[in-house]
Structure 1
Amino acid sequence: MLKGIPPIISPDLMKILMEMGHGDEIVLADGNFPAASHAARLINGNGHGVPEFLTAILQFFPLDTYVKSPVMLMNPVEGDEEPVIWQEYDEIVTKMSSCPIQIEKLERMDFYERSKAAYAILATSERVPYGNIILKKGVL
């Protein structure tokens, strides 16, 4: 055990966060996302949702301030509603960031392609459709 590390942050997740460098991306994937088939490095986050991980990760993870949008969401397919959980993500990012952060919405297939290039994917048990989020690491 270590002091100050939230129990939701597993040793595997902490290792990945420590390995990542400036510009690397991590996907916090909802339960519907094809995480295993898209991941170079897959982290098991079963039993927890994206908001819990987002809150815990942003305690340690600097977002990239050198890009327009270091946080990305999967835009719903035409006819699907925008997820209410996005408001929660915005509140968490705003609260945990030291400067204003713009959140970008990527089209579904662009989000999938970006995820394949991500450093890692954290597979959560989030049940909300379109509950996926990508974080781009910055510098301290």
Structure 2
Amino acid sequence: MKKLGMINRDIAASLASFGHTDLLVIGDCGLPIPKGVPCIDLSYRIGEPSFLTVLEAVLEDFQAEAAFIAREITEGNPEVEKKVLAQLKADYISHEELKEQSKQAKLIIRTGEATPYANIVLRSGVIF
């Protein structure tokens, strides 16, 4: 049994398969999942697990060289925006662009988050 890091076997196995520049999306429960993109659905009730809880856990185990959030989050969900930006630097794109980028994702992790624009695209970096 793993002692540290991500203990969800599906997420741990997926993260181990990522290479440089692969895309990982962490989304709220309303984000559309594009056909053909693998999705690990962690939601079990509205709000649980939260987007921020999952993001924090993933960032402990995942090297992100870039992050993208919807610019609409500034007005639609400033509290989540503030907490995301406290954890990492993120570039703003439109929500429509974020949904387009999710079509290229290697994996989407769906949370139970039910607040607007609580989605992020992470681009895999390297650890050296």
TM-score (norm. length: structure 2): 0.86
- Whether 1:89 aligns to 2:84 is yes
Of the three residues 88, 91, 99, the one matched with 1:112 is: 99
Question: What secondary structure, in the 3-state scheme, does the structure 1 residue paired with 2:125 have?
Answer: coil
| Distance apart, 1:39 and its partner CA | 5.3
- Whether 1:42 aligns to 2:35 is no
Distance 1:112 1:106 in 2: 10
Q: Sequence identity, in percent?
A: 25
The gaps in structure 1 that reach 5 residues or longer are: 65-69, 94-101
Compute the RMSD of aligned alpha carbons.
1.8
Superposed CA offset, 1:33-77 (max 9, x none): 112x3551111121311111111111111122xxxxx01002229
Q: Check the 8 A contact 1:23/1:138 in 2, yes or no.
A: yes
| Distance apart, 1:136 and its partner CA | 0.7
| Distance apart, 1:24 and its partner CA | 0.4
Of the three residues 26, 29, 32, the one matched with 1:28 is: 26
Question: What secondary structure, in the 3-state scheme, does the structure 2 residue paired with 1:91 have?
Answer: helix
Of the three residues 72, 80, 84, the one matched with 2:68 is: 72
Specify the alignment match of 1:62 in structure 2: 63
> Relative to 1, partners in 2 of residues 1:87 and 1:123: Cα closer, same or farther, differing over 3 Å?
same
Number of residue pairs the alignment of both structures matches: 122
The gaps in structure 2 that reach 5 residues or longer are: none
Deviation larger for 102-111 or 21-30: 102-111
Specify the alignment match of 1:3 in structure 2: 3
Alignment-mate amino acid for residue 86 of structure 2: E
Specify the alignment match of 1:16 in structure 2: 14
